[in-house]
Amino acid sequence: MLIDKDSKPEETILYLSAQILLKIKKLERIKLALIENLYEEIDEKQPYFKYNLALNFLYLIDKLKIEGGDLVYVPKKNEDE
């Protein structure tokens, strides 16, 4: 699911997840209503379903959370100290 051996590395969900994480880490949070703008900023050449899978992956590994209508970056426990 994350790495397709037949595709270019920049077309994988893992790569897209890293790009999303870097962007949201800089912003710290983004309104859910503006989530499509994030897609356009990162790589709109990729199919939208990969973008959704990348967001789901980041949520499942606790790097993003939804809080009050925002998508929020979750730092490592030692990172915020």
Is it the case that residue 65 has pLDDT exceeding 90? yes
**Is the residue at 4 inside a domain?**
no
**Is the residue at 78 inside a domain?**
no
Q: What CATH number should be reported for the domain holding residue 39?
A: 1.10.10
In total, how many domains does the chain have? Answer: 1
**Is the residue at 2 inside a domain?**
no
**Is the residue at 3 inside a domain?**
no
Among 49, 58, 59, residue whose Cα is nearest residue 17: 58
**Is the residue at 39 inside a domain?**
yes
* 14-64 residue pLDDT tens: 889 999 999 999 999 999 888 888 888 887 788 899 999 999 999 999 999
**Is the residue at 36 inside a domain?**
yes
Is it the case that residue 5 has pLDDT exceeding 80? no
Please name the helix (run of DSSP H) or strand (run of DSSP E) that holds residue 70, with its range, or none: strand 70-73
pLDDT for position 3: 61
Among 35, 41, 23, residue whose Cα is nearest residue 66: 35
Write out the residue range of the structural domain in which residue 34 sits: 9-73
pTM for the model stands at 0.81
Among 10, 22, 5, 79, residue whose Cα is nearest residue 50: 10
